[in-house]
Structure 1
Amino acid sequence: MANPKSSSASPKRKRPASWGTIRRRESGKFEAFYRMEGRTMRAPRRFDSEAEAQAWLATERAAHVTGTWIDPERVSVAPAGAAGVLTPASTFEALCEALIAEEAVFAEARPAYLHEQARLIRRVIIPTLGAVPLGAVKPSLLDAAYQQWHAHSASQARNALVALRKVVKLGKRRDVFTFDMADSIRVHPRPDREIVTLAPMQLAQFRRTIEEWRERPDRHGPQPSRLLIDVTDVMLATSARIGEALGLRVQDVDLGHARTVVTIAGTLIEGHGQRKHWQPATKTEAGMRSIIVPEWVVPTLERLTRAANLHGTDFLFHTSSGLPTGSHSVHRQLRAVREWAGLSSELVPHVFRKTVATTIADHESGGLDAAALTLGHSRSRVTEQHYAKRRTLAPDMREALATLGEGSPRSNLN
């Protein structure tokens, strides 16, 4: 029987600098070869050094990947001893690494953001453009690279483009680029997606479905934990993102006599090569907030707080070792419930946050500004565009419009 691991594993992408082969002639010159459409192609000229031939191959590779043409006369390599100095002969990878180093020094963004940005640069941008000399980089090459990324993954391309803009901006500051990214790339618009929310009756049914799934007689093994229903209730009561909810600590919950306040003081970070840890900062500065929660969630918070204290951990949602519970555990339970009950795959934890936004925005004592403050958005425009489902029924303004009908033919009939 075939090894399933070897049969399902996808081949590694070759780095641009290793694409093709190089041969040294007796004359001391170097020739570069590559294969295209089953044919072996040779570079139109010979090179004085292996590094120069390698740079030509890298540029030719980028041209084929992105479908653009690069002037071979502009291809050169950095002279020896030029490490750390960016010139038109330096590679695009050197510029990318310079940006990563600069971002780490200034530390203007959250560590998790810097980690993800570096990951995108090294996993998406450098494999496509990394070995191209900066003197050969032009807007059409960057545009073609972005279009290729978008065809593979629109969301990844959108995030990689943010990092690419920073790389090019650094290149302008280092006097190796003169063009402006604003005019270089035709960006695909973000598609409008319907905002999915749940009505109170749907939420009640969803809670019943979770309980029925937990207590189903045909299950194997012990009864599943209350993790999913507890996280759902905490997210609905606080508007927290899933990472913020799972990162809640005992000291973040103020169980007062008159009211209970939950403070969002950080978030759980995990995935993309990062170890699971609590970060004392949220996605944005506006995300640091305190929420006066409704009474119906207080018993849940009290129970979670008692359990954390008994277990000797700071986190309301924790593993047997006292560490915070990862979001994968919530998603795993939710997938199981969806499959068991035949629910839509659109039912994800973020729907709870959008439900909170819509509920507050539509309430007579709320509105978009109140929803933005509750969700931790710096601007209500973000809440309106991506979170609060737009009402189609306009408010009842008959009293205000009554005076506009005076003197109309219909009013004269009375």
Structure 2
Amino acid sequence: MGQLLEFWLDGKTDIRPQSRDRYRRIIDLHLEPAFGKLRIREVSPALLDAWLRGQTSGVAATSRTVLSGAFSMAARFGLVVSNPMLAVEPVNRPRKEVRALTRDEIPRFRAAIAKSENETLIDVVDVALATGLRAGELLALRWEDLHLDEASPRLEVSGTLVYSKELGHRRQEEGKTSQARRPVQLSESCATTLRRRREKYGTLPMVFPSGAGSYVWENNFNRWLREWRGEEFKWVTIHSLRKTLGSLVYEELGPHRAAEVLGHSNSTLTETVYVQRNSAGVAIGDLVDNMLDGVQKMSEK
């Protein structure tokens, strides 16, 4: 079985380096110890089902991908009569309740972050709240992606930061999904923040440079966030900020606009096939300014 997994991975030439790393870890840490010494025909649907049910949701999901692909290849080559994974039903686990910052919590969270006096941390948090970008998308922003001097300021999501053992840290020119490349309208407060940064850092290509003049990597940002978010907000991650804007847009403008802002695939045939996507970005500027107005009032007291 171990040889089958290795042969399958070696043949996956059409995947991104970071996906290869993820499959490599799953094989080495989980699948090889569990199934590596078994013959292919000894791995039954019942054995696979029982093993997958004992794994965490993340391990189970990636393991299903690898096992399904490897056994599908084995079936094509006649090594097994059929793919045993076809008989293994997905494990339905209760979904975790979505948690986002409330309107009352947002000013308190921003005030906690402001105590850091870390300009990059403060600005990344504010732009994350104002745009709902994924961490990699946000930290990968370049000045050429921003249109700050137009009547309706906006940014264009054009890439993301990724890491793989093969290529190291780098900026990837396509996003996480097919819908990731998108325009996002900027609130005036967010545009003002970015214009201020442009005055200071505009000679560099990236919006959020590190002290060395390179991209700030997500693990460094997360370390700063953990240090300054405080006990009340110890549950908050940059993904929580994405959920916060998503929840606001969903509440005010509905699910389809929320999906468009966040770069999610649309859930209906009409949205996917028949609706032209908004080339100027969704009009979220006033919503964001109202949401963030609380911290401004707090600072004036």
Alignment TM-score, normalising by the size of structure 2: 0.81
Pair 1:349–1:271, CA change in 2 (3 A): farther
2:134 matched residue in structure 1: 241
CA distance in 1, matches of 2:267, 2:101: 21
- Quickly say closer, same or farther: Cα 1:246–1:159, change in 2 above 3 A: same
Q: Which has the larger radius of gyration?
A: 1
**TM-fit CA distance, 1:274:** 6.0
Match of 1:147 in 2: 53
* Number of matched pairs: 268
Aligned identity (percent) is 26
What amino acid is aligned across from residue 370 of structure 1 in structure 2?
R
- RCO higher in 1 or 2 (8 Å CA, sep ≥ 6)? 2
The one-letter amino acid paired with 2:222 is H
Q: Which residue of 2 aligns with 1:170?
A: 73
Aligned-partner residue type, residue 176 of structure 1:
L
Q: 1:136/1:262 Cα in 2 relative to 1: closer, same or farther (>3 Å)?
A: same
Task: Tell me if structure 2 keeps the 8 A contact 1:237–1:294.
Answer: yes
Counterpart residue number, 1:196: 99
Q: Secondary structure at the match of 1:103?
A: coil
- Partner residue in 1 for 2:298: none
Deviation at 1:272, TM superposition (A): 6.9
Q: Distance in 2 between matches of 1:114 and 1:206?
A: 37
AA at the equivalent of 1:178: V
Structure 1 residue 273: deviation in Å? 7.6
- Quick one: structure 1 residues 297 and 164, their matched pair in 2 at CA, closer, same or farther if it must change by over 3 Å? same
> C-alpha separation between the residues in 1 aligned to 2:160 and 2:139?
7
Gaps of 5+ in 1: 1-91, 215-223, 382-414
Q: Could you say which residue in structure 1 is the equivalent of 2:250? A: 361
**1:372 Cα deviation after fit:** 0.7
Question: Is residue 297 from structure 1 mapped to residue 190 from structure 2 by the alignment?
Answer: yes
Of 193, 201, 208, the residue aligned with 2:111 is 208
Paired with 2:120 and 2:84, the residues of 1 have a C-alpha distance of: 46
Indicate whether 1:255 and 2:148 are aligned.
Answer: yes
State the shift of 1:124 in Å: 2.0
Secondary structure, in 3 states, of the residue corresponding to 1:188? coil
- 1:335 lines up with 2:241 in the alignment: no
Give the stretch that moved more between structures: 325-334 or 128-137: 128-137
- 2:146–2:156 CA contact under 8 A, matched in 1: yes
1:375 Cα deviation after fit: 0.7
SS at match of 2:100: coil
> Match for 1:283: what amino acid?
K
What is the CA–CA distance in structure 1 between the aligned matches of 2:43 and 2:101, rounded to whole Å?
Answer: 49
Would the alpha carbon gap of residues 344 and 239 (structure 1) be closer, same or farther in structure 2, given more than 3 Å must change? Answer: closer
Post-superposition shift, 1:278?
0.7
Distance 1:206 1:192 in 2: 26
User: What's the Cα RMSD here?
Assistant: 2.2
Alignment CA distance shift 1:199-1:143 (3 Å): closer
TM (norm. structure 1) is 0.60
Deviation at 1:321, TM superposition (A): 2.2
Match of 1:228 among 121, 132, 139: 121
